[in-house]
């Protein structure tokens, strides 16, 4: 079953009098529990597509259907509701609230979802435990390492039990060892039945996915299934 | 609705966190509101104090009193040249009125002059002296702290006796042993027979009984001028406030007869009463109030602009935070509520501090005999004003925050 059904969308920005076609004509369908990497050089429309998929922005033309709801026609408040309930974001720069501790950062989406304090706390603690940070819940972001910060961000993305996890260059600000750990975490999250969309320009990161969508000049250049080399790798790592 | 309250509560918590994180800035911002609320509350308290001072001052004259006088207290009743051309009210007029008036509780003539009082090396210069009869004390609410008022014998005999107001007595006899001492007025000795209790009616100025010396009226004429020198005032006290109107009617009738006025003549005297004075005071206090609130309101307005300014800076600085919040599902109105409540909390805290300062300054004022206490309505005023100011000045910055595009906000460095 399709979670994401994008049909012929375009995004046109007006810069002065000039029209910039960030996306020209993009159609893509993503199923539940898929693990998709979106790739492309800068200027390919990759970020624009991610913003639209993440309901941060709406397309100028075309249809975007998210889990049976027509997102392309929604207003700001409805988009906020979709983002809150259906989408978990993981950013390159982590984007945690610097003055709040890990627990509060993870609780935040649940606050906006209107959950009671006790339930919020319980679920936030559970999510932090899932990413292996149960003993760091009262640390502020500046008291955590880069990898730990990204784990907090992943816990925040997972805590609402969203339909998709949208990760934008999640290892871009991390060293390769920590980056590999984070990717392993994503693999595990995927194996638990989650849908993951990964935006990256690194081949070796994209290879963790089962499917790679390549963009060029606002169009889909290539959309292919890849062999599950990563599964093996992570299995090998576990056996080591 | 429940959800909205919840969002509001969360907004408040988030705001508190943000305020704590920017302590110095919050304190500086709040300073404008502190000063504004301090000014407004102190001003309204002071105005209330002035009002109370006037009311008690005037009522120390006695609330059931009439004053038959050549002059009117309110110049707008009769043109001044007419007042000036009126015949003086004489002791003769007074005696006739006194004999014919049936209703008053007490009547007494009075006239005033200014003289220097001396006792040994102590001098009180240019003191207001009220010359009257022994019945005068019964037309007032004055009480004696020490000794007695002069009696009928001393009054009729134009004896050299004096009753001192509390302030005068304090200056001449700091040790409080003035009774039976002789004070000199223009070289003539007067024996002190009594000292009045303090009234504290400083707002009455020249009429403040504390700053007054009282002589038998005949003695004043004997030593300091002849009887026709000035017009006297006839002090009339009605038995109770319900009788004031009747006493006034009777007084007009008798005085017209005494002054031999024809049927068509206008009154050539005025009957002054306290209620008219209170009305005048209310008018003046009203003017002070409007001016005071306007001026202190400006102080608050400047404070509000400060809040708005700093909230705009805060919104700009926290663009990324706003982007994060929006990305993970904060609705526009949640962001709006967050920033408005942040401004409101800063203002409320400032208001509380301003209120505290106002309480302290009114206590200091009270030390200087200024009747001033912060009332419950002033507290409510401070709280409402500060929350209102916060909401008003926080709205525009909060609105810009709420309307931010999450994509742009997340990209902001």
Query: What residues of B are in contact with residue A121 (Cβ under 8 Å)?
Result: none
Query: What residues of B are in contact with residue A154 (Cβ under 8 Å)?
Result: none
For A105-139, letters b (16+ CB in 10 Å) and e give bbbbbbbbbebeeeebbebbbebbebbebeebbeb
Does the beta carbon of B65 lie under 8 angstroms from any beta carbon of chain A? no
Q: How far is the C-alpha of B188 from the C-alpha of B230, rounded, in Å? A: 21
Summarised one tens digit per residue, pLDDT across range A45-101 is 898 999 999 999 999 999 999 988 999 889 999 999 999 999 999 999 999 988 889
Measured at the alpha carbon of residue B408, what is the angle toward residues B403 and B410, in degrees to the nearest 5? 105
Q: Over 60: is that where the pLDDT of B2 sits?
A: no
Predicted pLDDT of residue A230 = 47
Question: What one-character-per-residue DSSP string does A29-60 give?
Answer: EEETT-EEEEE--TTSSHHHHHHHHTTSS--S
Sheet with A219-225, edge to edge strand ranges: A87-90, A164-168, A195-199, A35-39, A211-216, A219-225
Q: Are A89 and B3 an interchain contact pair (Cβ–Cβ within 8 Å)? A: no
Q: At what angle do helices A102-113 and A117-130 cross, to 10 degrees?
A: 130
Q: At what angle do helices A102-113 and A146-158 cross, to 10 degrees?
A: 20
Nearest Cβ partner of A80 from B3, B320, B329? Answer: B329
Average pLDDT of chain B is 85
Q: Provide the whole-model pTM.
A: 0.70
CATH topology of domain A2-239: Rossmann fold (3.40.50)
The pair of structure tokens assigned to A128 is 């932090």
Nearest Cβ partner of B407 from A57, A80, A114? Answer: A57
Which residue in the block uniquely carries the two structure tokens 């907090």?
Answer: A152
Q: Would you call B181 helix, strand, or coil by DSSP?
A: coil
Summarised one tens digit per residue, pLDDT across range A181-190 is 999 999 999 9
Model ipTM value: 0.90
Domain ranges for chain B: 2-57+279-411, 87-268
Q: Are A85 and B329 an interchain contact pair (Cβ–Cβ within 8 Å)? A: yes
Domain ranges for chain A: 2-239
Q: How far is the C-alpha of A69 from the C-alpha of A55, rounded, in Å? A: 12
User: In angstroms, what separates the C-alpha of B300 from chain A's closest C-alpha?
Assistant: 31
Q: At what angle do helices B91-100 and B244-258 cross, to 10 degrees?
A: 130
Does the beta carbon of B331 lie under 8 angstroms from any beta carbon of chain A? yes
Query: What residues of B are in contact with residue A110 (Cβ under 8 Å)?
Result: none
Summarised one tens digit per residue, pLDDT across range B199-228 is 766 666 667 888 889 999 989 888 887 655
Does the beta carbon of A126 lie under 8 angstroms from any beta carbon of chain B? no
User: In angstroms, what separates the C-alpha of A131 from chain B's closest C-alpha?
Assistant: 19
Interface test with B, best of A80, A100, A119 (most B CBs within 10 A): A80
The pair of structure tokens assigned to B243 is 């009788």
């Amino acid at each position: 079953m399709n979670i994401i059904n994008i049909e012929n969308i375009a995004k046109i920005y007006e810069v002065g009098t000039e029209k910039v076609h960030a996306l020209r004509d993009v159609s893509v369908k993503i199923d539940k529990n898929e693990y998709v990497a979106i790739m492309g050089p800068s200027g390919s429309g990759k970020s624009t597509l991610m913003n639209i998929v993440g309901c941060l922005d709406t397309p100028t033309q075309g249809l975007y259907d998210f889990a049976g709801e027509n997102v392309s026609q929604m207003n700001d408040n409805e988009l906020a509701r979709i983002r809150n309930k259906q989408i978990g974001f993981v950013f390159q720069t982590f984007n945690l609230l610097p003055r709040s501790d890990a627990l509060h950062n993870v609780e935040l989406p649940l606050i906006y979802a209107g959950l009671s304090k006790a339930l919020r706390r319980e679920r936030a603690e559970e999510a932090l435990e899932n990413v292996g940070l149960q003993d760091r819940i009262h640390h502020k972001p500046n008291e955590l390492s880069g990898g730990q910060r990204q784990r907090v961000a992943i816990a925040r993305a997972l805590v609402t039990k969203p339909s998709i996890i949208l990760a934008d260059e999640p290892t871009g600000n991390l060293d390769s060892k920590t980056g590999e750990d984070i990717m392993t975490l994503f693999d595990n999250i995927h194996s638990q039945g989650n849908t993951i969309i990964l935006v990256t320009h690194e081949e070796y990161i994209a290879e963790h996915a089962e499917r790679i969508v390549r963009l060029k000049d606002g169009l889909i250049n290539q959309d292919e299934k890849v062999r599950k080399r990563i599964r093996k790798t992570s299995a090998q790592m576990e056996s080591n | 609705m429940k959800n909205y309250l919840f969002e509001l509560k969360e907004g408040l918590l988030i705001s508190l966190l943000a305020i704590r994180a920017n302590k110095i800035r919050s304190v500086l911002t709040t300073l404008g509101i502190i000063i504004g609320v301090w000014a407004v509350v102190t001003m309204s308290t002071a105005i209330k104090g002035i009002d109370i001072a006037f009311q008690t001052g005037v009522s120390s004259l006695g609330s059931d009193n009439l004053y038959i006088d050549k002059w009117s207290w309110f110049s707008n009743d009769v043109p001044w040249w007419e007042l000036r051309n009126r015949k003086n009210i004489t002791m003769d007029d007074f005696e006739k009125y006194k004999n014919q008036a049936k209703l008053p509780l007490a009547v007494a003539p009075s006239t005033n002059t200014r003289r220097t009082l001396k006792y040994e090396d102590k001098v009180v210069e240019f003191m207001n002296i009220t010359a009257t009869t022994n019945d005068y004390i019964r037309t007032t609410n004055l009480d004696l702290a020490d000794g007695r008022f002069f009696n009928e014998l001393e009054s009729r005999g134009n004896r050299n006796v004096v009753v001192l107001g509390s302030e005068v007595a304090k200056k001449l006899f700091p040790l409080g042993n003035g009774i039976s001492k002789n004070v000199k007025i223009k070289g003539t000795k007067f024996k002190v027979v009594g000292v009045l209790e303090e009234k504290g009616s400083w707002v009455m100025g020249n009429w403040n009984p504390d700053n007054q010396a009282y002589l038998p009226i005949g003695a004043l004429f004997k030593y300091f001028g002849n009887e026709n020198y000035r017009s006297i005032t006839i002090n009339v006290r009605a038995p109770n406030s319900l009788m004031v109107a009747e006493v006034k009617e009777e007084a007009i009738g008798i005085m017209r007869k005494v002054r031999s006025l024809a049927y068509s003549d206008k009154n050539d005297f005025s009957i002054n009463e306290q209620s008219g004075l209170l009305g005048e005071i209310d008018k003046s206090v009203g003017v002070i109030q409007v001016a005071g609130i306007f001026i202190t309101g400006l102080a608050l307005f400047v404070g509000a602009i400060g809040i708005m300014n700093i909230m705009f800076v805060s919104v700009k600085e926290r663009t990324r935070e706003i982007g994060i919040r929006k990305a993970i599902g904060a609705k526009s109105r949640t962001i709006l509520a967050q920033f408005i409540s942040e401004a409101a909390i800063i203002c409320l805290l400032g208001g509380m501090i301003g209120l505290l300062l106002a309480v302290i300054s009114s206590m200091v004022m009270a030390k200087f005999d200024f009747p001033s206490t912060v009332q419950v309505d002033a507290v409510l005023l401070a709280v409402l004003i500060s929350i209102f100011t916060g909401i008003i000045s926080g709205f525009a910055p909060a609105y810009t925050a709420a309307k931010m595009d999450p994509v742009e906000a997340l990209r902001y460095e």
